[in-house]
Every structure is written in structure tokens, then in C-alpha cells.
Structure 1
């Protein structure tokens, strides 16, 4: 691991903006989105999936196991992908007969901030039928980069599912602010898929292009 990731693990904070974005922790909304995915989404053989801010990669792994054609994983920190995401894929997909094909043709990995990842995906002309992201919209300053990434790589008839808390104390963002941000977007629209009652309520919303 590099020094930045180790600093993130040793810090009393789960986030060091621009250095470590919490990728080594499994967050509550990931469980919410895993349950929703299992109960409501059926993949076709050709479906392409992108998990933004993947951390453990559990959402993408669930998609692989449920028949998605390929899943691409993104996290801010390269070390999260190397030491957390990829080992989790290997462990949870141990029943897959062709491991070489799994990692060579069904999985791909991107790291860095969302603006750079957007450029990489555009150069590769990658579009996804499904995008999943959990606990990534805690900082209002990053909403524009996040939404532009989604719009740039979501297929014309694709759907993005975003899970988050209503508010993130000490950071300032949350689902309410994000939904208001989407309301002002000229291409995307959102709808609430699920609300989880808790001391800090959590929600899952669906994004797609306007008709």
C-alpha cells in the first residue's frame, strides 16, 4: 500500500478528501443496494455494469454472479482496488470455472477522480446498461463531476441506482441535496426506489435520461 492509503486507514476519520475516500470501509447503504439489486434486477447476457466508488466491490460482484456480461469497477484509490476489490472478486467468484476469462473479459478496473475516469471511459467509448453507486454523494462539491461521469457513460436506455444517507454530518452533502441537484439537470431525472427508516434515513434513487 502507498502512504496515502495507510494514512487513511490510520486516521480517526473515514475520509481524507483528495487522498483517501473511504474505500476500505463497508458502508451501510451498500447493504441496502445489495438487497434491492437482489430483489428487483434481472440481468440479460449482454448487460454491461459500472460500479462507481466500488470499495469492496460487493455490488459489482453480485452483478457478476447474477449474470451480467461484464462489470467494471472504479475507486478513487488504486490500493483499494488491488487489496480489497480484486481479492473480494476472487473469493466470491471462486465457483466461476474460467477465472482467466473472468478477469480478462468480464472485469475491468479504473482508479482516480471522476473527471479523469470520465475521460478514460470516453476514449474507450464505454457505455453501461446499469450503473451502481453507494455512499458516494456525501460531498456537494463533487456532484457535478459525479453527474457528468454518469451522463457520459450511461447507455441511452440505461439506469443508474444511487444509494445514500439523507444527510452526512460533518461533510454537508446527502440525498436531499443530490436530488435537488438532479432536478436542475437538463438530461437526467430521478425517482425514489426505496427509503430505509433509520436514525439517519437512507434512500435508493434511480437515474435515467429524460424522454
Structure 2
């Protein structure tokens, strides 16, 4: 991970560049835990990003979205409520990671236009705003859907379209906001009847849930 100030970077467990310093690394813990879950899902044949569209909500440094880029996603949207986060953290870090990958592959293969780098040229978008404004990212959202969670219903349903739609949610344990979000999402699953959900990992202090189309 790289910040716009040009801080030096170090490699994390996920092979993504992560910032030095306790503060930034602490902010990345949940993202790194999610990336590790995604790696395990790919390893077990339960997930692929090849030619997929990806939306990362509340992205901060964008590590899961970057990981999906490196694994072949065709389009990746990075969203955060804060324009400052998008401008100062997300965009510099996404560009730095992809640039570093390109440079590494160029050195390994001896050509700046190696085919493997061309495959990393995704359609990448950055968006700052609240859930109920996501119609600017996903045109399927209806204007009367309401705010916050209600505003997320249509993007959730769009992301979970069969046959391969899937959503991963990282929620902090014993934190009423996240716990409430999990309960509401599970209620949506029960209401729709077309989705499934299960807990895929329980790292310290967090839960990682997987929602999928049946």
C-alpha cells in the first residue's frame, strides 16, 4: 500500500503492498483478513474473478478491490463515503499496487508490454458518496429505495444475480452497527428466498459472511 505522500511500502501477508506504521496497518487488518478469505475461496475452487464485475463498498485503501484486479476482474468500482479517503488513500494505493505489479512483470518477462500486464488493464472507477446515491454506479437502483440499508437493497440484489453473483461482508463482532447490518442482510436473504448465506471465517474481533445466489 502506498500513500500519496510517497511513504515507503512493505509487503503484507496477501502479497499486496501495505503501508509502514501501526496506524495504517491497523486500518488494513479487516481488509487483509478478507483478502486471505478470498485467496482460500479461489484455492478451493469456490470463487473466480475472471471477467467479473466487482464493487468494493467502504474501500479505504482498496485492498480487496486491488486483489480482484490482480486476479482478472474486468471492471472494479471502489466506493467510500469520504471523498478525502478516495482521493488521498484509495486512488494512490490502487495505482501504486497496479504499477508495482506491472513493473515486476516487466522485469520478469523483459518487456513493458508483456501479455500478462495487458490482462491487468481493467476498467477501474472511483466513487465517493453514500449508499443511497449508488445509482450513479449501478443504474439498476430505483430512486424510491430509501436510505442506508434500504438504499443498498438493489445493489445487493444486482450483485447477487445468478448464477455466479456473490457478496462478502466483514462485520466487527459485538459492534451494534455491523451486527445490525448482518441481521438486516440475513432478513433480506430470508425475504427474497433466492439467496444463501453462511459464515466463512471468524478472525479475531470479526466475522466474514458470504452471501450468494442459489
- Residues 115 and 100 (structure 1 numbering): CA distance in 2 closer, same or farther, change over 3 Å? farther
Question: Is the Cα–Cα contact under 8 Å of residues 52 and 73 in structure 1 kept in the other structure?
Answer: yes
Residue aligning to 1:49: 54
CA shift at 1:205, angstroms?
0.5
TM-score (norm 1): 0.65
Residues 48-197 of structure 1 aligned to structure 2 (within 5 Å):
48-94=53-99, 95-96=101-102, 105-117=122-134, 119-123=135-139, 142-157=148-163, 158-168=165-175, 172-175=176-179, 177-185=180-188, 186-187=191-192, 188-196=195-203
Question: Which one has a larger percent strand, Structure 1 or Structure 2?
Answer: 1
Distance 2:119 2:87 in 1: 18
* Greater Rg by CA: 2
Structure 1 pair 76/44, CA: closer, same or farther in 2 (3 Å)?
A: closer
| Deviation beyond 4 Å, 4+ runs, structure 1 | 97-103
TM-superposed CA distance for 1:107, in Å, is 0.4
Please list every run of 5 or more consecutive structure 1 residues that lacks an aligned counterpart in the other structure.
Answer: 1-22, 127-140
Tell me by how many angstroms 1:32 deviates: 1.2
Query: Aligned pair count?
Result: 164
Secondary structure in structure 2 of the residue aligned to 1:192:
strand
Give the Å deviation of 1:26: 2.0
2:118 and 2:92 map into 1 onto residues whose CA distance is 14
Note if contact 2:171-2:182 (Cα within 8 Å) is conserved in structure 1. Answer: no
Against the structure 1 CA distance between its residues 122 and 68, is the aligned structure 2 distance closer, same or farther, given a 3 Å change threshold? Answer: closer
1:97-144 per-position Cα deviation (integer Å, ceiling 9, x unaligned) = 5799967x5201222111111x22343x59xxxxxxxxxxxxxx9433
CA contact 1:182–1:190 (8 Å) conserved in 2: no
Asked whether the equivalents of residues 54 and 75 of structure 1 are also in contact (C-alpha less than 8 Å), the reply is yes
Structure 2 unaligned blocks of 5 or more: 1-23, 103-111, 142-146
Name the residue aligned to 2:35: 34
Residue 46 (structure 1) shift: 1.2
Q: Assess, with a 3 A threshold, how the Cα gap between structure 1 residues 144 and 190 changes in structure 2: closer, same or farther.
A: farther
Distance 1:88 1:145 in 2: 28
The TM-score with structure 2 as length reference comes to 0.65
